[in-house]
Amino acid sequence: MSNERVAIVTGGSSGIGREAAARLGREGYAVVIGYAGNQANADEAVKEVEQAGGRAIAVQADVADETAVAAMFDRAEQAYGGVDVVVNAAGIMPLSPLAELDLDVFDRVVRTNLRGTIVVDQQAVRRLRSGGALINVSSSLTKLARPGYSAYSATKGGVEAITLILARELRGRDVTVNTVAPGPTATPLFFEGKSQELIDRITTEPPLERLGEPADIAEIIAFLAGPARWINGQVIYANGGSAA
């Protein structure tokens, strides 16, 4: 199986990450499911990849812990021989108006979403093979500017900045670096802590008048992971027309 491509997907046990892992499985990838703590969900995600036609293992790693992330990449190389694609979908989204924001919570958001991106991307650029792709996950909230999301949006704005710079730092290597910025997507992360009234209002915002589905985003990730070799250093806003 020398032509088999290998992907690491952080946040791979739920939501967009899990759907992306299964979608890559359909393309015949070997997938390493990176997960923070829920082993049962991670094991289910492994089964989904296998049912889709790929191979998979689950590896627990806090994305902000450089030792754990390096060990996850080591495990991918030991199991499958190398790494071709990294999808960095791990993230947390506590909501609060800025004036009431608990700074300990803010530090936790920065640690996971921003430091975690730096740590994962650092290993990715050291390890990705020629023809590889690094795909970060941001959010259309950087454009939508919705009240209550200042901490989350600040970290995601940082993710977008990192992506553009990293693409340029990889000049001379056949490795692309892009970010997907989903709009409201029907995942546990989205529904958590929201009233039905708010969910209904957000659902009607896009011209397509629905929430995104994880499969909508996974399709873009699969495109960037494989055939989209001439897309590089870009942020792709995937939100059904909610924001530019």
| Res. 155: pLDDT tops 70 | yes
* Confidence (pTM): 0.94
Scanning the structure block, which residue is given the tokens 């039905």?
A: 196
Q: Residues 179, 45, 129, CA angle at the centre, nearest 5°?
A: 45
β-pairing verdict for 83-88 and 235-238: unpaired
**Number of other CB atoms surrounding residue 149 within 10 Å:** 20
Q: Which of 37, 42, 46 is nearest to 13 (CA)?
A: 42
Specify the 3-state DSSP secondary structure of 237: strand
Q: Looking at domain 6-183+212-238, what is its CATH homologous superfamily?
A: NAD(P)-binding Rossmann-like Domain (3.40.50.720)
Q: Where are the domains of the chain?
A: 6-183+212-238
pLDDT band at 1 (very low <50, low <70, confident <90, very high): very low
Phi, psi values for residue 117, rounded to 5°: -65, -45
Q: Which amino acid is at 26?
A: R
pLDDT digits (tens, 9 = 90+) for 176-229: 999 999 998 988 878 887 889 988 988 988 999 999 999 999 999 999 999 999
pLDDT digits (tens, 9 = 90+) for 10-56: 999 999 999 999 999 999 999 999 999 999 999 999 999 999 999 99
Contact of 111 with 64, CB cutoff 8 Å? yes
Q: Which amino acid is at 116?
A: G
| Res. 2: pLDDT tops 90 | no
pLDDT band at 244 (very low <50, low <70, confident <90, very high): low
Scanning the structure block, which residue is given the tokens 């011209």?
A: 207
How confident is the model over 111-115, as a mean pLDDT?
Answer: 97
Question: H-helix or E-strand containing 8?
Answer: strand 6-10
pLDDT band at 145 (very low <50, low <70, confident <90, very high): confident
* Phi-psi domain of 180 (left: phi exceeds 0; alpha: psi -120 through 50; beta: other): beta
Question: Which residues are the active-site residues?
Answer: 152
pLDDT band at 136 (very low <50, low <70, confident <90, very high): very high
Greatest Cα pair distance, the chain, in angstroms, is 55
For helices 15-26 and 39-52, angle between their N-to-C axes, nearest 10 degrees: 30
The C-alpha atoms of residue 81 and residue 7 are separated, in whole angstroms, by 11
